[in-house]
Chain A
Amino acid sequence: MIPYTIEPRVDTGVTNVTLGVWLFLASEVMLFGALFSAYALLRVSAVAWPHGRDLLSVDTGLINTAVLLAATFLVWRARARDSRPSVRRLLGSSVLAVVFVAVKGHEYQSELARGLVPATNTFMAMYFTLTGLHALHVVGGTIANLWAVIGSRRVGPAMTAGRVHALSLYWAFVDVVWLVILALVYLS
């Protein structure tokens, strides 16, 4: 039996899952940090750089921001609750996450229809890469939500609470990345 899966270790003050998810987020910061740095370097050395608001639908971006923040809010509400409402909130959050991905897909479709593809220019290339990677993170988070829901009966409320705690940290990170993308790509 692996110790400290449910109760925190006294001298470190955390459980294995909490430490693991923080480490994972640290690596994610480096991943998106590298991509944002690439964005900055390419933008400052570009001859011309289009405004995101001229090419993209800012309204759709803002609606999706609200959807994503609501999804995260529900995961945070699922923390520190007994297992039944927390399962309902995780499911609700997953539905919102699916809505986010659907809206994103619709947005891609309308851009492709207007002839805006990754090969159009480096701005569009950055847009598709950043939002695509971010959408993959939303899909991953949704799968993790459902995994926590399905496993909740088997592993019991204490373990599920640990998982929901980890999920809440992950979703907060996904939000932060989205807000940076919103600022760098849509609004600038």
Chain B
Amino acid sequence: MRIVSTDHKVIGLQYLVTSLTFLVAGFLFILLIRWQLAYPGQPIPLIGGWLAASMAPGGVMLPEFYNQLTAMHGTTMVFLGVVPFAVGAFGNYLIPLMIGAPDMAFPRLNATSYWLYLAGGLVMFAGFFLPGGAASSGWTSYPPLADIATAGQTTWLVGMFLIILSSLLGAINSITTILQLRAPGLTMMRLPFFVWTQLVTSFLLLLAFPPLQGAAVLQLMDRLAKTSFFLPSGLVVAGSSLSVSGGGSPILWQHLFWFLAHPEVYVLILPALGIVAEVIANATRKPLWGYRAMVGSALFMGGMSFLVWAHHMFLTGMGTTMSAFFQVTTMIISVPSVVIVSSLLLSLHGGSIRFTVPALFALGFLPMFGVGGLSGLPLGLAASDIPLHDTYYVVGHFHYVVAPGTLFALFAGIYYWFPKVTGRMLHAGLGRIHFWGSLVGMNGVFFPMFVQGLAGVNRRLYDGGRSYASGAAIAHTYSGQWWSVVLLGVVQLVFIANLVWTLARGRRAAENPWRATTLEWTTTSPPPHENFDTPPQVRRGPYDYSPAGAIDDFVAQDHA
């Protein structure tokens, strides 16, 4: 395999390996964070002695290092882990195969976006080696704090700029590929739901990311050219007033940031819904219930996601008219998510469900995403958001959406498409250990956050809030979270072992081991260069499972 390749399958695998590596890094950060929260002031076991004196002297974590870990955990997981995993890896590998195309529309652009992503991630991580360490102003990088933070924030901004460039190029490529390179007969309403979700996701990346890119440029100007885009007049730092021209607005950053970051939530969740839909249709052996409504909902959700960003900003003192507008749009956008999840639930009804490992993860996704979504409703209404803002409740809410939500869907996708990519089936027993261990571990980590948040504990305190009465009252809940994280880590090791073992000597798979209908299963495993020996001709919809009068319980999309 060439290192610089323009084959979408190679690039997809490069994205996969890189994003999994970043996910592991983000997980290692959280091991340190959870140890600190459970046992503040105690030396970190095993690796504590190796950490530099600027991070953890004598193995005991410094508050500054804790801030770097939380900022870099969030950034790594969202921008370097889950999005490149869901869009870069799954999108790149599967879109051309599912639409019967030989490759992406712009193969060289595709390679460019992978290398920009890798460069962006490395630049960001280089911050750890600078004096003052990596970025430490949270994954949201709010000014004025971020404007006056140490040099790690500059590498964060440069890294973010490169990552945004990478996803812009990727989005242009995906949209062009989906619209232009569909096989003959593959009309839009015959596209697998997964491809629809990738299309909407790409539009979100294309249109929501540039404002953050602009904001990153402005913040870089603030830091390097001493401008005051985000610095108000009369700011006092460490006892002396800042000598800047002033007149800037920290709220401006919040607007630009959340204009990206709310659509980003749907960038995280839409591909996950797409994967779950494919797996559920296959595991229940029947067509998806409400395919057209699901497509409509995905499109509506995408458009609507540009109109809800200020619900992250109820605490900025916006007027009641503004706040009412964003509360209404926020309540409206919950409708399409509920339509999609209800359709997936109804798809189970009357099916003869195969409880394979991908199906377990897809079925686990539904209630977990439900908890994540429903716990978000109180945050969408200003009255209940104001007391909950910046507490652990918020952290619990979005982790339920992204961790046992999106990540479970991505795991389902790995188990489902692994035989297509490698020609071998992942071990099902180890997969079940991975699923049940992750389900218990994730809930063990995230459920207590709701309790902590409702007790009023702020999410950014490095001693877990023990210096406050509210935090001291719930301090005992942190040790359970620590052991849940350990369990989560152990079962991920089982998963990695499964990947390695299967690659070496796993059971060989035929070209269509799940007896699935979509086009990627009609070619060999792994698919050849340019994907199909003869270009496929599509003759039916994507989920022709158990059709009346057929010999088999499925009919492939290109079957006459």
Contacts and interface: CB of A to CB of B under 8 A. Distances in A.
Contact of A27 (B207, B225, B226, B259): B207
Contacts of B101: 3
Contacts of A12: 179-180
B104 to A, nearest CB: 8
A14 B255 CA distance: 36
A41 B181 contact: no
Of the four ranges (under 10, 10 to 19, 20 to 34, 35 or more), the interface on chain A belongs to 35 or more
Interface residues of B, number: 42
B181 A23 contact: no
A19 B176 CA distance: 6
B516 interface: no
A113 interface: no
B48 interface: no
Given A12-B180, A20-B105, A118-B226, A125 B221 contact: yes
Main secondary structure of the interface of A (DSSP, over half): helix
Contact of B105 (A16, A38, A121, A128): A16
Contact of A38 (B106, B176, B206, B214): B214
B373 interface: no
Main secondary structure of the interface of B (DSSP, over half): helix
Given A1-B102, A2-B105, A34-B256, A122 B207 contact: no
Interface string A46-84: 110000000000000000000000000000000000000
Contacts of A121: 245, 247
A34 B181 contact: no
Interface string A5-45: 00001001011100110011011101111110010011001
A46 B221 CA distance: 19
Interface stretch (B147-155, B167-175, B412-420, B462-470): B167-175
Contact of A119 (B171, B208, B245): B245
Contacts, number: 122
Contact of B207 (A14, A30, A41, A133): A30
B245 A120 contact: yes
B347 to A, nearest CB: 30
A125 B107 CA distance: 38
Contact of A122 (B105, B206, B213, B248): B248
B352 to A, nearest CB: 38
Given A24-B172, A118-B227, A42 B180 contact: no
A122 B214 contact: no
A117 interface: yes
Given A23-B172, A34-B256, A125-B221, A16 B106 contact: yes
8 contacts: A14-B180, A27-B172, A27-B206, A34-B210, A34-B214, A34-B259, A38-B252, A41-B252
Given A33-B211, A34-B210, 5 more contacts: A4-B105, A19-B180, A27-B171, A31-B214, A129-B227
Interface of A: 1-4, 9, 12, 14-16, 19-20, 23-24, 26-28, 30-35, 38, 41-42, 45-47, 117-122, 125, 128-129, 133
